[in-house]
Amino acid sequence: MKVLANDGISQSGVTALQEAGFEVNTTTVAQEQLVDYINENNIDVILVRSATKIRKNLIDACPSLKIIGRGGVGMDNIDVEYAREKGINVINTPAASSHSVAELVFAHLYGLARYLHNSNRDMPLEGDSKFKDLKKAYAKGTELKGKTIGIFGFGRIGQATAKVAIGAGMNVIAYDPFIEAAELTLDFFDGQKLSFKINTISKESVLKQSDFITLHVPAQKEYVIGKAEFNMMKDGVILVNAARGGVIDEVALIESISNGKVARAALDVFEKEPNPEIQLLMHPSLSLTPHTGAATNEAQDRIGSELATQIISILK
């Protein structure tokens, strides 16, 4: 059995698959060459992240495929239902990267609240000549403790983010059209546990009450946050999108920053990824990362191990 991990896989995943008798190939094959490569090498399993697309034409052209695996949560780069109709197993790892994304959200939130995204740009350039000016410019930060965070999408990642928020002393509110409530259990270093029940509320209520907003929703046809939603928010809100590009109207975001509705924002994903708009890349009120929400060593190990376990279970 041959596995092509086209977007890479952790060594833990490679080892588990090889010990089960699979041949693992971590070559990155260009999208336009993928059909020929799969057929020439009689690939049984293809593993992808977000870079490689598995569409109907590839599925039809590659009869050897038995499993399509997505390392991560969202599978909008795979024609899932069509593949399953053709008898191909489609798997992913929805829980493996939840905490990694949650930590990135809070890295951005803490940075934005204390202007670290600007300070880290300005100090190397002007720290020696304008130290006092910079100190004054960035002396009006805010604390997260005691503030309200609104979470859009209360699945695994949204709930993981809520746990970090609770640990930071924040008031958590959430909106999810498919989830009415969630029981969250926080595990502490000494073995203690605390449980919290979060009831979801309306979209409008989350928009109006939140000091900070973070999105954890799948890709959709329409914007989740557009001009109308920005208008409902508190003045000076701080916003993070570590979900999918296109769930926030980026033009409306820039307008909302300009008129003071949004104080600052963070983007890990972009509408025109991997070529974000230059006005986003250069904007002083934005904290930016290149789609690295799940990119921790720990998450990648969990993803590789989970994919390997599923593949072995299906084919062995």
Beta strands across the sheet bearing 89-92: 23-25, 2-5, 45-48, 67-70, 89-92
Q: Which of 103, 117, 255, 273 is catalytic?
A: 273
* Assigned token pair, 39: 């057929």
CA angle 305, 306, 309 (to 5 degrees): 85
| Residue 298 annotated among the catalytic residues of the structure | no
Q: Which of 49, 108, 156, 291 is catalytic?
A: 291
Dihedral sign, CA of 107, 111, 113, 114?
positive
Output the CA torsion 91→96→100→101 (10° steps).
40
| Residue 117 annotated among the catalytic residues of the structure | no
| Residue 273 annotated among the catalytic residues of the structure | yes
User: What does the alpha-carbon distance between residue 276 and residue 191 come to, in Å, rounded to a whole number?
Assistant: 44
Q: What are phi and psi of 12, to 5 degrees?
A: -60, -40
Q: Which of 244, 264, 283, 302 is catalytic?
A: 244
- DSSP annotation of 259 reads T
Q: Taking Cα atoms as reference points, which of 239, 244, 304, 227 lies closest to residue 266?
A: 239
**Residues with catalytic roles:** 244, 273, 291
